Amino acid sequence: MKTKSLFLSLIMSIGVFVGCQNLKVHPSSSIFSENHSLSVVNESTEILVKMPKSVYEKKGDAVFWSLALEKGMTKLNRMILNKHVIVIPTDIGLASDVNFVQKKGKVVPVYNSYAQEYAQAFKVQVKLVPDISMAGQIIALKKDSYVVAEKEFCYLGIFKMDVPYEKNVFFLIGKKEPTENFVKIIGMGKVMQFFSNTQVVSSSKKENNKFKLLANAQIDEVSEEVEKGDLIFFPKITVSVLDNDQYIDQTEIKPEVIVQPKTLKKPSLPKESK
């Protein structure tokens, strides 16, 4: 309760700051437009998650799903950054689907008795639809102007979404290019907590718009500085269990055979003649 009150106090402070700076917290119609063609970004990767026996026996399959999501999204973010992905934001009346993570298959990990660990292969897919129905904006940063380090906190305004089902939701960060129709994906973050029925309003009457949700979030790996006003997009993620036989070298899970060295007997030498 104390943490929530503190966060709400911070949000109120952000509202005052936004008003004083006359920051346009809602994007112009030229950014999210019904006239833009919908562009969808699809990426996928395959990963192997290993876990100590003690952790798996204590936490079960849930920790495998969680680690697969974290590891997979980190790898996918780097793939997207390396490709310098560009998207064109739209406002074409899409429904806001807040079921962001879909899980497929059953976890059946392979046990390595020698290493005392379990292993499971996964495929993680991300689908980014850059529509306003699944988008928002960075409205405040912990530092004065920008964030370049990992694990820094920021505050988000989400335009039209309802509160998602998941607790920790990943988002991709987009920076507007000089040509307003284009947004470059520059990194990834994760929402820590959503708050509904709270709004941040600009002091300008023409910009008297509100966000449906507010959130505090953590910025992860980025390729450029993150600034107030940068856009965010919530992708759909699918985590699927793969057949372990194709990804785990069976020789690795066999106990290592330790051969004890033999002690050589000291050879008997002929006695010296007197």
Cα 199 from Cα 169, distance rounded (Å): 20
Cα 19 from Cα 154, distance rounded (Å): 18
Q: Can you give the pLDDT at residue 23? A: 41
Residue 267 domain-assigned (yes or no) = no
Question: From residue 133, how far is each of 154, 160, 232 by CA, in Å?
Answer: 21, 5, 11
Residue 72: exposed, middle, or buried by beta-carbon count in 10 A (0-12, 13-18, 19+)? buried
Number of domains in the chain: 1
Q: Can you give the pLDDT at residue 144? A: 60
Q: What is the pTM of this model?
A: 0.78
**Residue scoring higher pLDDT (210 or 109):** 109
Cα 177 from Cα 183, distance rounded (Å): 6
User: pLDDT tens across 100-119, in order?
Assistant: 999 999 999 999 998 899 99
Q: Supply the range of the domain harboring residue 140.
A: 2-253
For residues 174-197, b (16+ Cβ closer than 10 Å) or e, as one string? bbbeeeeeebbbbbbbebeebeee
Phi, psi of 232 (to 5 degrees): -130, 150
Average pLDDT over residues 180-206: 73
DSSP sequence for 27-62: --TTTSBTTSPP--EEEEEEEEEEEEHHHHHHHTHH
Residue carrying the six token digits 């929530």: 4
**Tokens standing for residue 229:** 């006003």
Reduced to 3 states (helix: H, G, I; strand: E, B; else coil), residue 120 is strand
**Residue scoring higher pLDDT (20 or 217):** 217
Residue 50 domain-assigned (yes or no) = yes
Residue 129 domain-assigned (yes or no) = yes
For residues 147-168, b (16+ Cβ closer than 10 Å) or e, as one string? beeeebbbbbbbbbbeebeeeb
Angle at 236 between CA 235 and CA 237, to 5 degrees: 110
Residue 238 domain-assigned (yes or no) = yes
Q: pLDDT above 90 covers what percent of the chain?
A: 49
Residue 266 domain-assigned (yes or no) = no
**Tokens standing for residue 9:** 């106090």
Phi, psi of 67 (to 5 degrees): -70, -35
Residue 261 domain-assigned (yes or no) = no
User: pLDDT tens across 137-187, in order?
Assistant: 999 887 565 666 677 889 999 998 888 877 779 999 999 887 668 899 999
Residue 46 domain-assigned (yes or no) = yes
Average pLDDT over residues 21-30: 46
* Residue 116, number of CB atoms within 10 A of its CB: 10
Average predicted confidence (pLDDT) for the chain: 80
The set of residues, in sequence order, having a beta carbon less than 8 Å from that of 18 and lying 6+ positions away, is: 25, 139, 140, 200, 201, 202, 203
Q: Which of 201, 217, 253 lies closest to 53, judged by CA?
A: 253
User: pLDDT tens across 232-263, in order?
Assistant: 999 999 999 999 988 776 545 554 445 566 66
Residue 42 domain-assigned (yes or no) = yes
Q: Can you give the pLDDT at residue 93? A: 84
Q: Can you give the pLDDT at residue 199? A: 46
Average pLDDT over residues 53-78: 96
Cα 131 from Cα 128, distance rounded (Å): 9
